[in-house]
Amino acid sequence: MKRRKFLLLMGIGAASLAIPAGSYFLLPSIRQHCILLIKRELAYLKIAEGVVEQYVDDYLKTMDRNLVTKLKWKLMYFLRTGPEQSTVLFELVKYFLLSSDFFIHKMDESKTVNYLGLYNPYKSPVPNPFSFALYPPDEIRDPV
């Protein structure tokens, strides 16, 4: 093997190791990624100031954040994965809505969404959005 070829292969090998490592540090943190994702997915809602940040902080406290988890989140950000492709991101958005007063206000998009606390079905059950208690029928029809 000639010296030029060896140096060229060493340069390509070093770049293939340096680019992923550098992008790990340059990409935003998991917290910033979660905040951007929720705000992008729920842009049609009026969300109170600081609510998403508070929810993400509480959500990340419960999550196991080891190196593999961080790499998965960074890869999802780098590949621009959305909730349609990832169940983890879908659960993040879903639990934000369950942790807020969105369903208590009968899914009214004109009202401001506030954070109530991290959703736990055993401690704070959310009312069924399809319940007749929330949506009583307008007319009681007699079967004829």
pLDDT in tens, 15-37: 766 666 655 566 668 888 889 88
Neighbours of 30 (CB within 10 A): 20
Query: Greater confidence, 61 or 124?
Result: 61
CB 95 within 8 A of CB 60: no
- Give the separation between CA 27 and CA 23, rounded to whole angstroms: 6
Record the tokens describing residue 68, joined without a space.
């593999």
- Stated as kind and residue range, the H or E segment containing 31 is helix 30-41
pLDDT surpassing 70 at residue 128 = no
- What is residue 75's predicted lDDT score, i.e. its pLDDT? 75
Q: How far is CA 16 from the centre of its chain?
A: 30
Q: What is the pLDDT of residues 35-58, one digit of tens each?
A: 988 998 999 999 999 999 999 999
Band (pLDDT 50/70/90 cuts) for residue 141 is: low
100: which strand partners?
A: 115
Band (pLDDT 50/70/90 cuts) for residue 132 is: low
Q: What is the pLDDT of residues 58-105, one digit of tens each?
A: 988 888 777 777 777 777 777 777 777 778 888 889 899 988 988 888
- What is residue 58's predicted lDDT score, i.e. its pLDDT? 92
- What is residue 17's predicted lDDT score, i.e. its pLDDT? 66
pLDDT surpassing 90 at residue 107 = no
pLDDT surpassing 90 at residue 112 = yes
